[in-house]
Structure 1
Amino acid sequence: MTTEIIKRDTVAQLVENYETAVDDITQAYSLLHAAKNRLNTSFGMGKRIHSFDVLPHGYHRGATLANDSLTQVMAQIKLDAWRVLMERLELRKLLSIARREELDNQLSDGKGLPDITLENVWGMFESAVSNVDRYMEEAVLVVYEFLRPPSSKYKTNTEFEVGKRVILKWYVEPNYSKSGFNVRYSYDPKITALDNVFLRLDGKGIVSTYHGPTHDAVKDAGRDGVCETDYFKLSCCMNGNLHLEFKRPDLVKRLNAIAGGARLRT
C-alpha cells in the first residue's frame, strides 16, 4: 500500500534523526564532562577547593552535571520519542481498549519499551495491524458491555441486549466556552472503540481520523449538542450524559448476535 510505504519512510527518517541526535548528545556530554574535569583539575590544583560546573543550576534553574546525567537525559528522550512515534503511526486507533491502556501505561513510565530502531518501531506497528481482527473481537465484547450495563436506572439501557437507544453517563462535558461539547478524556478510548466496532460490522475497516467520527461530531456540535454520524444520532446533555440512537438496526442485531446478547435471555 502507498500509505504504508509513506509511513515506513516517515518512520525511517524519524529513527535516523533520533539515532543521529543520540550520537550528538552522547558526544556533547562527553565534552561537557571533560571540560568540567579540566577546570576542576586545573583551578583546584587537584584538590576540591572549588568545584566548577558547566550547566546552570539552582532552584528552578536545572540540574548540575552529574555522572548519571546522560543516562537520565537519554531515558527521557527515548520515552518522548516513542510517544511521538506512536502518535505519528496512530497506533491507538488499531487497538482494543485493554491494549490501548497497556500502551498508554508503557508510554507513561517507559517500562518495557525496546530501543528505538526501524525494526522495533515498524515491528510494533505491523504486529498491531496483523492482530487487528483479534483486537476488534475484544472491542466488540467491551462495547457490547458498556452499551448494555447490567444495572442502570435508564429505561433505554437494557440488560439483555443492546436496544434502539442508550444513554452513556458522563461521556461528555461542556467545552470551555460553553458553546458546545467535548468527549471526556477518560472516555476517548470507548468512543473510538464504538466507532471501530460499527465500522467493522459494516465491513468498512477502522476510523479514518485520530479519534473517530463520533468524537469529531460531538466536538463540532453546537450549543444544543445535537449531532450525528453514519451510525448514530447523538444528543449531548449539560449533565454529562450522551444520548445515542442507532441508525443501523441491522448492525445492532449483528452486535447482539456476536456478543451473545440474544443468548442471555434464554
Structure 2
Amino acid sequence: MSFQKFKLSNIILTFLFAVLSLFFLLPLIWMLSASAKTERDVWTFPIQWIPKDWNWVSNFKAVWMGDVSFGLFYMNSIKIAVISTLATVLFSAMAGYALSKLQFKGKAAVFSLMLAFMMIPEQATLVPRYIMIKELGLYDSHGALILMGIFSSYFAFLLRQFMLGIHNDMLEAAELDGAGFFRVFISVMVPLSRPILATVGIIKFIWTWNDYQGPLIMLNSSKLFTIPLGMQFFQEEFGTRIAVMMMASVAAIIPLLVLFLALQKQVIEGIAIGGVKG
C-alpha cells in the first residue's frame, strides 16, 4: 500500500513539474512560432501556436540579408565569447590547481584575497576598469572585452573546490612516473576535471554572449558591436516588425542551445559528483 502511494505521489509530482516546465517554456515557444509568421498573424488573438501562413523565409532574409549587419554582429559575439571562454577555463583551472594542490608561501592570503574580490559588485569596478582599458589603448576594441572577461575569482574558486576532491595519490603516482608540474596538470587534473570545466565553459559562454554592459561601455564603432548591441539596430530598423525581431532572437540563442546540448553530459556529471571517490 505504501509503495503504491509512493508511486502515485511520484506520478503526480512528475505531472505537476511537467506542466510547470511547459509554463516556463511558453515564451520560448511563442518566440519560435512568431519568427515563422507573417506580421498580421503575430497579432492574432487567440494565439496561433502553429503558423497559418509560414513566412520564415522572408523573415530569415530580412535578418541575414537586410541593411543591418546581423552576420557581422554574430561573428563578433562568437569571436569574443569563444576566446574569453577558452581563456577563462584555462586560467581558472590553473588557479584552482595551484590553490588546491600546490603548497607555496602566502597561499592562504591569496585565497582569502580572492574570496574578498568575489564580494565586490562588478559595477563598483566598472570605472577603474574603463580607465585601465583607456590607458592600455584598448578602448573600442574586442581586446578590451576579452581582457576584462578572462579572469574570474568565482570560477577559480569553483574549480578549486572541485579539485580538492581529487585524491593526491593520483598526482603522486604521476610524479613518480616522472611527470612534471605542467604534465600533471594537463594529463591528470584536466581530464579528471572535465565535468566542472564543461560547466564553467557553458556558464562563461552564456554570460559573455549575453553581456550588454561591457560592450556598451567599451565599444564605440558599430562594426565591433556584439549581438546584444546589434539588437538595438534591429529595434530601430524593424521595431514594428515583431516577426523579424523574433527571427533575430531565435538566431541569437542558437549557439547557446548547441553548446548546452553538446556538453550536457559533462554538466550533469559535474553536478552529480564532487570529485573522484576512492
TM-score by length of 2: 0.22
- When Rg is computed on C-alpha atoms for both structures, the one with the higher figure is 1
More strand by share: 1
TM-score by length of 1: 0.23
More helix by share: 2
Task: Compare relative contact order (CA 8 Å, sep 6+) and give the higher one, 1 or 2.
Answer: 2
